[in-house]
Chains A and B, each alone.
Chain A
Amino acid sequence: MSKQKPIHIISFLLLFVFAILPLILGFGFALAYSFGLIGGLNQGFTLDNWSALFENNDVVISFLYSGWLAIASLTLSVVISMAIAIFFHKKFSKGIYSYLVYMPLAFPSIVAAFFFAQFLGNSGILSRICYQLGIIDNIQSFPNLVNDQYSFGIIVAQFFLSLPFFTLLYTGLYQTERIDDYTQLANSLGAKNRQSIFRISIPILLKKSFPNIVMYFIFKIGAYEVPLLLGRSTPETVSVLAVRKLQKFNLYDIPQGYAVAVIYTIIILSLLMLVLKTNKNEYDI
């Protein structure tokens, strides 16, 4: 048996300590707590916490709501950034736009949430502009665009945060996949512009970016800051629900909070495994 080099042992230890061990410990703790095996108020194995969790639809609604927010903001980002790549790829490859597109990347989620609260709120910039233009006559006439029932503010903020990522991805793919050459070939063979966009450009870009879209969806399901500041108290996203159950004053809610964390972890890890297994390319980022 070959002797392991010290650097290999150190590398494995680093991987174990910083990546594998926290996951095992965190998931194990949440699982044990949710089944009543540990925790101050728990008295041994029980399924009560899980049945209490599903007594109402809060958890199911929370997961569906998080999924819906992720899908809505992602769809907007993918469609618009794809349009940018197809129609303005030259402008965004060099020059001022290639710099401007980076701007939203400098925004932490909490800053984006704060900005959109100031921009879309009832007394925000948009409302003030509408008032000055005579579109509304008082502050109450302006529709609720933050903390609203359609989650407009959350979707817009998440769209703003993800737009540069997809714009850079698609403008890059447009060049590396030589889409210009394919569309020119199609046009020279008699295809109309519309046909070459819908039959060549969009299918290639979608296929190549699919793993990135799913990865982004996974990240967005766990979004915390934006829904916390721009969302309503019901429905809550998964992260906000878990924090409320685990950090607030009712100690009997804690096992349920950990049960939410267990469900979330299982869903995310299953989705991730599915993406990584179906993605034949490398997992590089």
Chain B
Amino acid sequence: MSTTFKKRNILLWLLAISFITPIITLFFLSFSKNWRFPAILPQQFTFENWSYLFFSGGNIAPSFLISLVIALSVALFATLLGFITSKYIAYHKYRKKLLMLTYFPFALSPVIFALCLKYYFIKMSLTGNVQGIILAQLIIAFPYSVIFFTGFWNQRIKQYEDLVSTLGGTTSYAFRKIVMPIAKSLILVCFFQCFLISWFEFGLTSIIGYGKVETLTIKVYQFITEANIFYAALSCCLLILPPVILLWFNKKFIIQQAK
């Protein structure tokens, strides 16, 4: 076996280790207790942390549910509204200008954007509640969805729609029978992406939620500031699980289907 081949294999192994070490470490920590220096492995492995999640008043399970409700709502609204709006932009004579405007809110730091908008959210009584957070996250996820779908509305789709109307089909018929089947997997991908934008969000949620709406990311931050690394690791595991499943699903089915 040549030296170059061996070196390449070592590099690949290093990369693989760097990709999986974080997940393994967090899972280990979530099942641990007493991890004193200089022991590499924790002195005690226990299910206590996880049972606290399900049976005691740990507030982690409610945080998981709140995060899930917020992320699903944001993903649903952003995907639906983005799909509708993107068509308008894609065929508009000022397509480039409108698209540029759509990019602006998406490119700004969510936490700074939230600080600038907080006043209006206070006036509308939308701080410290789930509705306010959904609306605030939509301001980030909606532009993403619009940008995502604008590429879909190309000349080919327009020609299909024109063909249906030439043959006597209605707009809704063209939408149901032509556009939707083609757009199906893209809609699913956009839904996943918007779900992840919301699921990962911390800065904007902490500003608009005032810390009263305890999503999982807020919970992780609380545990970190309390130096409770085992509960923080547990919350991290809960945060990572849905994206891992979604990304696997995305890779396994949608990308392969698209190919």
Q: Is A235's CB within 8 Å of the partner chain B?
A: no
Rounded to whole angstroms, the CA-CA distance of A7 and B88 in the bound complex is 8
Q: Is A108's CB within 8 Å of the partner chain B?
A: yes
Across the interface, do B251 and A98 meet the contact criterion of CB distance under 8 Å? Answer: yes
Q: Is B229's CB within 8 Å of the partner chain A?
A: yes
Q: Which residues of B contact A8 (CB under 8 A)?
A: 88
Across the interface, do A91 and B139 meet the contact criterion of CB distance under 8 Å? Answer: no
Report A178 CB to chain B, min CB distance, Å.
17
Across the interface, do A283 and B99 meet the contact criterion of CB distance under 8 Å? Answer: yes
Q: Is A101's CB within 8 Å of the partner chain B?
A: yes
- Closest chain A residue to B223, Cβ basis: A114
Report A88 CB to chain B, min CB distance, Å.
6
Q: Is B19's CB within 8 Å of the partner chain A?
A: yes
Across the interface, do A107 and B240 meet the contact criterion of CB distance under 8 Å? Answer: yes
Report B55 CB to chain A, min CB distance, Å.
24
Q: Which residues of A contact B110 (CB under 8 A)?
A: 222, 224
0/1 string, A254-285, CB within 8 A of B gives 1: 00011001001100110011001000001111
Rounded to whole angstroms, the CA-CA distance of A7 and B83 in the bound complex is 12
Contacting residue for B247 out of A19, A106, A221, A265, CB 8 A:
A106
Across the interface, do A18 and B116 meet the contact criterion of CB distance under 8 Å? Answer: no
Across the interface, do B224 and A115 meet the contact criterion of CB distance under 8 Å? Answer: no
Q: Which residues of A contact B130 (CB under 8 A)?
A: none
Q: Which residues from 223 to 269 on chain A have a C-beta closer than 8 Å to any C-beta of chain B?
A: 223-225, 229, 238-239, 242-243, 246-247, 257-258, 261, 264-265, 268-269
Across the interface, do A97 and B247 meet the contact criterion of CB distance under 8 Å? Answer: no
Contacting residue for A283 out of B147, B240, B251, CB 8 A:
B147
Across the interface, do A264 and B112 meet the contact criterion of CB distance under 8 Å? Answer: yes
Flag the segment in A22-30, A45-53, A145-153, A184-192 that touches B.
A22-30
- Closest chain B residue to A218, Cβ basis: B107
Q: Is B72's CB within 8 Å of the partner chain A?
A: no
Q: Is B143's CB within 8 Å of the partner chain A?
A: yes
Q: Is A65's CB within 8 Å of the partner chain B?
A: no
Rounded to whole angstroms, the CA-CA distance of A262 and B240 in the bound complex is 34
Q: Which residues of B contact A273 (CB under 8 A)?
A: 100
Rounded to whole angstroms, the CA-CA distance of A20 and B239 in the bound complex is 31
Contacting residue for B147 out of A99, A105, A285, CB 8 A:
A285
0/1 string, B131-144, CB within 8 A of A gives 1: 00000001100111
Across the interface, do B103 and A276 meet the contact criterion of CB distance under 8 Å? Answer: yes
Rounded to whole angstroms, the CA-CA distance of A101 and B88 in the bound complex is 36
Rounded to whole angstroms, the CA-CA distance of A60 and B112 in the bound complex is 17
Flag the segment in B33-41, B45-53, B56-64, B159-167 that touches A.
B33-41
Tell me the dominant secondary structure on chain B's binding face: helix
- Give the most central of B87, B98, B116, B148: most A CB within 10 Å: B116
Q: Is A84's CB within 8 Å of the partner chain B?
A: yes
Place the interface of chain A in its size category: 35 or more
Across the interface, do B108 and A265 meet the contact criterion of CB distance under 8 Å? Answer: yes
Q: Is B79's CB within 8 Å of the partner chain A?
A: no
Across the interface, do B40 and A125 meet the contact criterion of CB distance under 8 Å? Answer: yes
Report B184 CB to chain A, min CB distance, Å.
18
0/1 string, B1-45, CB within 8 A of A gives 1: 000000010011001101111110110010000000111100000
Rounded to whole angstroms, the CA-CA distance of A99 and B249 in the bound complex is 11
Q: Is B199's CB within 8 Å of the partner chain A?
A: yes
Rounded to whole angstroms, the CA-CA distance of A26 and B208 in the bound complex is 14
Q: Is A37's CB within 8 Å of the partner chain B?
A: no
Contacting residue for A104 out of B19, B85, B113, B147, CB 8 A:
B19
Given contacts A27-B116, A105-B247, 12 further A-B pairs with CB under 8 A are A11-B87, A18-B142, A19-B146, A25-B120, A99-B248, A99-B251, A102-B251, A103-B23, A118-B25, A129-B40, A224-B111, A265-B116
Query: Can you show 20 pairs from A to B with CB atoms below 8 A apart?
Result: A15-B102, A22-B139, A84-B15, A88-B11, A96-B16, A103-B19, A109-B202, A110-B217, A111-B236, A114-B233, A119-B25, A125-B25, A222-B112, A261-B116, A265-B116, A276-B99, A282-B151, A284-B147, A284-B151, A285-B148
Give A contacts to B, CB under 8 Å.
7-8, 10-12, 14-15, 18-20, 22-23, 25-27, 29-30, 84, 87-88, 91, 96-112, 114-115, 117-119, 123, 125, 127-129, 131-132, 139, 160, 215, 218-219, 221-225, 229, 238-239, 242-243, 246-247, 257-258, 261, 264-265, 268-269, 272-273, 276, 282-285
